[in-house]
Chains A and B, each alone.
Chain A
């Protein structure tokens, strides 16, 4: 059992967060290259873009990329929050604890990620 635990981290383990962040980065990198390839080789219009993203393979690839982005964003934002929203960063300004502010920040991040994820999945799967 590790000495330091944190219930709000994504995988509850530094190792799994570390691996997930890198795997999700690879997925996003591959997806980015795929999009760049499309924009460079195709005469871009709304119709061609909708046709490209509406193909079944691209729908699944986009879904994987959106999920990877959500995981990557949460691990990153959680790390930023646990670095900077600390009591000693605010002096005596938070009444003894940064816990409340960090919780609000984390809730805001999760809410934003879930909304963006649901919204983009609706768009991607509405293209067919």
Chain B
């Protein structure tokens, strides 16, 4: 199989280029894209990419696979390759450090902005802050995010305004704490989001939903934040 890989070494290259690597696939098995990348690396050890758990939990190996963002370790080659060719590029919109490794600082800056932790100034109980099963159920579909950045880097609004628009991953986390019955900073959290960019730059095109390897729905969370902002203001 032919694998076309984005290559850029800031010490040696002036411009990025695509490198074709021929990889022998074993008969009768459907590999994951990460396996194919490992095979390509065995032929050219200079190829750089991030990886860790190889089972879709750590979120390290997010990349653009034949035009769609996803995790290389849980994307089957049979599903991704078109015309028998695999094209691997770094996540779009973030500065490339080397090959498939991107600088995720802008992504994490937006994540930090939404204060992704529980805020509750009441004195803590002896054991733990309890939550009813119904309130706990409200966090389903929100807490599972692994911060792989596949969603935010597939969002044109994040490409254009990565310094102002929080992006789908950050907004999913923002709503995860807005929806948490134990959090008491709802008003302050909403006040941080009501400007023209942070939430409202989302145009609802749902690229994030299409890209999320965990099947989460940031667009729905963004809609809920907008409803909360509207309710708070009226």
Contact = CB atoms under 8 A, between A and B. Distances in A.
A79 B199 CA distance: 13
A83 B160 CA distance: 5
Contacts of B191: 1-2
5 contacts: A2-B194, A4-B195, A6-B196, A13-B196, A83-B156
For chain A, give the interface size range: 20 to 34
Given A3-B113, A15-B229, A86 B161 contact: yes
B195 A3 contact: yes
Contacts, number: 58
A13 B161 CA distance: 17
Contacts of A15: 194, 200, 226, 229-230, 233
Interface in B190-234: 191-201, 226, 229-230, 233
Interface of A: 1-6, 9, 12-15, 17-19, 79, 82-84, 86, 89
B202 to A, nearest CB: 10
Taking each of A12, A15, A82, A89, which has the highest tally of chain B beta carbons within 10 Å of its own beta carbon?
A: A15
Contact of B200 (A3, A12, A17): A17
Given A15-B229, A15-B230, A15-B233, A4 B160 contact: no
Given A2-B194, A3-B195, 16 more contacts: A2-B192, A2-B193, A3-B113, A6-B195, A6-B197, A13-B195, A14-B194, A14-B196, A14-B199, A14-B201, A17-B196, A79-B196, A82-B197, A83-B157, A83-B160, A86-B161
Contacts of A9: 196
Given A1-B191, A3-B113, A15-B233, A84 B160 contact: yes
A86 B131 CA distance: 45
A67 to B, nearest CB: 21
A13 B160 contact: no
Contacts of B233: 15
Contacts of A12: 196
A14 B197 contact: yes
A9 B63 CA distance: 35
Contacts of A79: 196, 201
A96 to B, nearest CB: 16
Contacts of A86: 160-161
Contacts of B226: 15, 18
A14 B161 contact: no
A3 B109 CA distance: 13
Nearest to B160: A83
A111 B171 CA distance: 36
B230 A19 contact: yes
Contacts of B164: 4
Which 4 pairs of residues, A with B, have the shortest CB-CB distance?
A: A14-B200, A2-B195, A14-B196, A4-B195
Contact of B160 (A3, A18, A19, A89): A89
B192 to A, nearest CB: 6
A5 to B, nearest CB: 6
B160 A5 contact: no
A12 B200 CA distance: 12
B230 A3 contact: no
Interface in B114-160: 156-157, 160
Nearest to B226: A18
B194 A13 contact: yes
A19 to B, nearest CB: 7
